[in-house]
Structure 1
Amino acid sequence: MNGSPLSLNVFPTAGNRNLGRGALWIAPLLWAAGAVAGNLPETREWRGDLSLPNGATLPIEVELFLNAAGEPDGNLISPAQDQRYARLVEVEFADDRLRVLGRAPDVEIAGPIDNGTWQATFSQGGFQAELSLAPTAQVTEVERPQSAAALRDWPGEARRIPAKGAVLAGTHVRPSEGTRAAALLLGGSGATERDGYFAGHRPLAVLAAQLAERGIASLRYDKRGVNRSSGEHDPTDIDTLTRDAEAALRFLRARHPGLPLLVIGHSEGGLIAARLGAGAAPPDGVVSLMGPVLPLAELFALQDRTEARAAGASESEADALVSLSRQIYEAAAKHSDPASRMPAVMAVLESASDAQRQAFERFNGGTGTLGPGMLGGRHYHTLLAVAPKESWGALDVPGLLLFGELDSQVPAAANIEVLPKRDGLSIVTLPGINHVMQRSDSAATQRYAEIDHVVAAEVESALAQWIEQWLQAAGHNSTH
C-alpha cells in the first residue's frame, strides 16, 4: 500500500480485474479465519467522517450483523470509493467498547461507545486518526434504478445453505404464480456477494427479477467469507467454490422437487456452472453469461492484452505488458507454496525491462490476476491450470454460452474458438454488450461504473428465448 492514508484508496476491488490502478506493489496475502464470536451493540450501523492530512474528509461506515452461522460479523464501507462489502474479520464488543478489524484493507476501528456515539481511533498502516461514528438508519447505497426496482419488486426470502466448513447466506425468489423451473445464480470472481454488486449495480438481483417474471424461481448466495456467509474466502480455490455451488444446487433441488433445474453463471460463475453440468449430479441445463472457455492461464494473459488495449495502450505497450505477465504466470505456476511463489514473482518483476515496467505500472499496476490477493493465494497455482473447455467437452446437458462483442475480460472470438464441438450447445454473441452485461460504446472496464443500466434488454431476451426452447425441448411445460 502507498504511504498516505488514501492510499486508503487501497480499499481493493475484491477480485474484479483492473477496475482500479495502483503502484508496482506485490505483498503476501494475509488470510483471516472470520469474525470472532461475541456480543454486538444495540446499534448495528454507524457512520463517521475521517479527517485526512490534506484537509479532506472521507466518509466511513460500518454495518454489524450476525452472519448465517450466528457469529458477529460485519462490513466496512467507503461510499466515496465505491467499497460496499469489505468484510470485517474480527468484531469484539465488551464493556461498551467496540473494536472491528478488516483485512484488505488492513484497518482497525476501536474505541468506547459513549452516549450513543462510537468514539474510535482509526488505524491503517502507520496512519492513525480519531473517528467519531454516530448511529445511522441505513448505510449508503448507490441508487441504480434497475437494481433498486428488482430488489423492491422481488425481495425474496433469506435462506441459510449448509456447506462444508461454512453456512452460506442466500436469497430465494419464487414467482408470484406457478413455478415452471428453478435456477441457481452464480456470480463472478472475487469476494462476490449474492447480488453480484459493483458500483451500485446488482446484476444477479436483476436476473432473479427477470426470471421470476417468466415463472422461474431462483437462488443466489454470498460466497463463503463474504457479507453474511460464514467461513473463509479464498478467490483462488475453485474446487471449494464449486463444492459450495453443488451444496446450493442440492438446496434448490430439495425445495423444487420435480422441476427442471438450471445453473446460470456470470463470468467465473459460468466456469463453475459448466463444472456442475459435467459433474455427478448435474442440473438439467447450464447457462454461461460471459464465462470463460480458454484455459485460465491463457485467458489471464489475453485479458492483460485486451484490457490494456481498451484502456488506450498501443500495440507495443500491450506486447510489453503481456510478455511480462506471461513470465509472472509461468513463475507462479511452479510454486504451490505462496512463501516461495512471491519471491519468484518478485524476481520476474525486478528483471523487467523499462518498457515492461512502464506498461505494467500504467495499464495494470498489480491488480486482478497480477495483484497480491491472487498471486498470494494458496491455490493460485492450481487455478492457473484450470481449463473450462474440458468441462464444456464433458457436459451432458443442454447449454447456452452468451458472449458480449465488447467484452475485454472474456473476449468472445478467442473463447468460442476453443469450445469443443458437441450437440446441445447454443452460442450467442451480442453486439454492443460488455463483460458485465451492459450495452456500452466501449470495451473499457472503466465504463462499467459510468453506465446506469445493467443486464441489457438484449441479454434478457437472448436468455429468455433459450430458456423457452430448453423447456419445450425437454417437455417441461407444467407449473408447480
Structure 2
Amino acid sequence: MKKFLITCSTLLATSVSLPAFAEDPLGDWTGLIEGQIRLNIFFTKTQAGQYEVAIVSPDDGNETVKADKVEAGENFIRFSIAKHNSNYEAKWDETQKAWLGTWTQGQQAKLKLTRLDAKALAAQVKKRPQEEAIAKSPRNYSSTDVSFQNAKAKISLAGTLTLPQGKGPFTAVVLVHGSGPNDRDETIFDHKLFLVLADHLSTQGIAVLRYDKRGIAASKGDYKSATTFDFADDAQAAVDYLRTRSEINQDKLGMIGHSEGGLIAPMLAANDPKLKFIVLMAGPGVRTDALLLEQGRLLGLANGESQTEVDKTQKVFREAYAIINSGADDKTISEQLKAHFDQAEKNGDLAKGAGAKHLSRLERPWNRTFIKYDPAPTLAKVTQATLVLNGELDLQVPAKMNLDGIRVSMKANKNVVIKELPKLNHLFQTATTGSSAEYGKIDETLSPIALDAMSGWILQQ
C-alpha cells in the first residue's frame, strides 16, 4: 500500500453533537495504516459538547491536521478531511477494545484504533541524536543568517552561512535541496539533513551556505509556480552571493545537490566553468519519466502493494507520462490526461476519485517540466571534478540504474568518482529496506560514512 500523506496546514474542525453510546471516543487513540504509517487520533470536546478530531502522523512529518466533519453514533465514528479527500469510518469492537474501520485517501486501508496512553505517546517521540548533539556541543565555526538576491526572479532568498574558525579564505559549498517545499535544513520527518551536513563540513574546515527554497520559510517568491529551472536560478544566486564574500576561496567553491539538487548541480557546472566541483547525492542519471516509473514500482512493492497493483499503476503512469511528453500544448495535455485517468478509473486501474488528484498534481508546472527532463546531455558537458554518491537501498533514485546512466554520460570526464554506499537509503541513512516508511523511524539523520566521503573528497579538491 502506498504511503498515505497527512501533512499540510491545519484545517478548522466542525462537528455534530453526539448521542449517548456505549464507547465514548473522547481521548487519544493510535493505529497503523497497513502496519507502517502510524496515526494518532485525538478526540476532544468543545464547551458546547461537540466533538472535534485532530490527526497526527509521527511517521509522516508530525504535522497536526484537524477534521472538518465529525459524526458519531452508538459504537460508530466517522470523520473526514475534505482538502485531502480522506475519511475514516469505524465501529467499536468490545472484544478487542478497539475501533475497527477503514481509512480512505485515494486507496483504502484497514485501520484499527486502540487507546493511546501517555507512556505510549512519549515513546513515539522521535530521537534525533545528531541534531541533539549539534544543539548541545560547542561549535568551532560561526553560524550567521544571511539573505541574497535572485536578480532574474527579483526575489530575496534567506539562508544560513557557516564559516570555520580562522582567517580563511575557506573551501566552500552551496547545498541544494531535493524536490518538495524544503527549508534550509532540508527538514524531512523531523530529520534536518542539511543542518547535520553543514555542521559536519564546517567542523572539517569547509564553509557552507544553505537556504530556504523560494516561497518557503524566510525566502520570498512563489514556490508553487516554480520549476527545476527556477530552482537552478536560485542555486546560481547562492553561488554568486558566496563570490561576494571575502572569506570564501573562489578557486575552491563547489556545490552539493541532493536528489533534485543532483539535477541542478550539473546544470550550474555546465554553464559556470568557474565552479570548482560538484557532489551529487542521489542525483538522477536517466530520463526523469523512466526514473519516476522505477521509483513508483520499487516503493509500491516495498510498501506492501501486490505485483498486480504495481503493474496497474505502472501502466497508468507510463501512458500519462507519454501524454506529457507528446509535444502537445498544455491545454491538450490536460484534456488527454483527464480522459486517460477517467478511463483508468472505469477499468479499475485507479481507485474512484484518484484520477482528479493525479491530474491536479500533473498539472503543476514543476511536474510537467520534471517529467520531460533528460539529464544526460547536461552531465556530458560537466568538466569539473565530480563526486557521485548513491545509497545501495535507495528506492527513489535507484543506485544501479542512475549510477550506470551517470557513468555513460560523464565518460569523457576523467575526474569523476562514483560510489555506491552499502545499506544507505535515499536520505543516506543506514536502513533495512530503503522504504520511505522507514525514513521517520530511523534515528540517524545522515550516515557518518556518507559525511566522511563528502568532506574527505572535497578537502582534496
Normalised by the length of structure 1, the TM-score is 0.66
The structure 1 residue matched to 2:159, chosen from 156, 170, 177, is 170
Cα 1:349–1:258, aligned 2, differ >3 Å: closer, same or farther? closer
Deviation at 1:396, TM superposition (A): 1.1
Cα 1:268–1:8, aligned 2, differ >3 Å: closer, same or farther? closer
Q: Which structure has the larger Rg over C-alpha atoms?
A: 2
Deviation at 1:293, TM superposition (A): 1.1
The structure 2 residue matched to 1:439, chosen from 430, 453, 457, is 430
Alignment of 1:449 onto 2:443: no
Correspondence for 1:183: 173
The structure 1 residue matched to 2:377, chosen from 384, 390, 401, is 390
The structure 1 residue matched to 2:232, chosen from 242, 246, 249, is 242
Cα 1:391–1:200, aligned 2, differ >3 Å: closer, same or farther? same
Correspondence for 1:217: 207
Task: Determine helix, strand or coil for the equivalent of 2:283.
Answer: coil
Residue deviations 1:381-435, cap 9 Å, x none? 3322211222211101000110001000000111122222131111000110000
Task: Determine helix, strand or coil for the equivalent of 1:413.
Answer: helix
Cα 1:345–1:56, aligned 2, differ >3 Å: closer, same or farther? same
Cα 1:246–1:50, aligned 2, differ >3 Å: closer, same or farther? farther
Alignment of 1:58 onto 2:54: yes
Cα 1:444–1:277, aligned 2, differ >3 Å: closer, same or farther? same
Unmatched runs of 5 consecutive residues or more in structure 2: 10-31, 34-42, 66-82, 86-124
201-210 or 335-344, larger mean C-alpha shift: 335-344
Q: Is the 8 A contact 1:11 1:105 kept in 2?
A: no
Residue deviations 1:312-341, cap 9 Å, x none? 233333222111111111223347765554
Correspondence for 1:415: 402
Q: Is the 8 A contact 2:157 2:214 kept in 1?
A: yes
The structure 2 residue matched to 1:147, chosen from 131, 135, 155, is 131
Higher relative contact order (CA 8 A, sep 6+): 1
Q: Is the 8 A contact 1:274 1:286 kept in 2?
A: yes
Deviation at 1:198, TM superposition (A): 1.2
Q: State the one-letter code of the partner of 2:178.
A: G
Superposed, 1:120-131 pairs within 5 Å as none
Q: Is the 8 A contact 2:251 2:274 kept in 1?
A: no
Q: How far apart are the structure 2 equivalents of 1:268 and 1:85?
A: 27
Superposed, 1:321-340 pairs within 5 Å as 321-334=313-326, 339-340=331-332
Residue deviations 1:73-112, cap 9 Å, x none? xxxxx989636699xxxxxxxxxxxxxxxxx889xxxxxx
Q: Is the 8 A contact 1:265 1:291 kept in 2?
A: yes
Residue deviations 1:111-169, cap 9 Å, x none? xxxxxxxxxxxxxxxxxxxxxxxxxxxxxx96622124335646711111101221001
Q: How far apart are the structure 1 equivalents of 2:320 and 2:210?
A: 34
Q: State the one-letter code of the partner of 1:162.
A: Q
Cα 1:330–1:151, aligned 2, differ >3 Å: closer, same or farther? farther
Q: State percent identity of aligned pairs.
A: 28
Correspondence for 1:123: none
Q: State the one-letter code of the partner of 1:196.
A: E
Q: How far apart are the structure 1 equivalents of 2:332 and 2:236?
A: 33
Alignment of 1:312 onto 2:312: no
Correspondence for 2:182: 192
Superposed, 1:366-385 pairs within 5 Å as 371=358, 374-385=361-372
The structure 2 residue matched to 1:228, chosen from 218, 222, 235, is 218
Q: State the one-letter code of the partner of 1:274.
A: P
Cα 1:238–1:464, aligned 2, differ >3 Å: closer, same or farther? same
Q: How far apart are the structure 2 equivalents of 1:444 and 1:339?
A: 36
Cα 1:366–1:273, aligned 2, differ >3 Å: closer, same or farther? farther
Q: How far apart are the structure 2 equivalents of 1:399 and 1:85?
A: 41
Residue deviations 1:29-56, cap 9 Å, x none? xxxxxxxxxxxxxxxxxxxx98699935
Q: Is the 8 A contact 2:7 2:61 kept in 1?
A: no
Cα 1:382–1:258, aligned 2, differ >3 Å: closer, same or farther? closer
Q: How far apart are the structure 2 equivalents of 1:384 and 1:157?
A: 37
Q: How far apart are the structure 2 equivalents of 1:151 and 1:366?
A: 45
Aligned length: 358
Q: Is the 8 A contact 1:402 1:427 kept in 2?
A: yes
Deviation at 1:373, TM superposition (A): 5.9
Q: How far apart are the structure 2 equivalents of 1:442 and 1:172?
A: 35
Q: State the one-letter code of the partner of 1:461.
A: D
Correspondence for 2:8: 11
Cα 1:392–1:251, aligned 2, differ >3 Å: closer, same or farther? same
Q: State the one-letter code of the partner of 1:169.
A: A
Q: State the one-letter code of the partner of 1:199.
A: F
Q: Is the 8 A contact 2:342 2:355 kept in 1?
A: no
Correspondence for 1:160: 147
Superposed, 1:100-111 pairs within 5 Å as none
Q: State the one-letter code of the partner of 1:305.
A: R
Cα 1:371–1:170, aligned 2, differ >3 Å: closer, same or farther? farther
Cα 1:51–1:326, aligned 2, differ >3 Å: closer, same or farther? farther
Residue deviations 1:291-328, cap 9 Å, x none? 11111111111111111122123333322211111111
The structure 2 residue matched to 1:357, chosen from 340, 350, 353, is 350
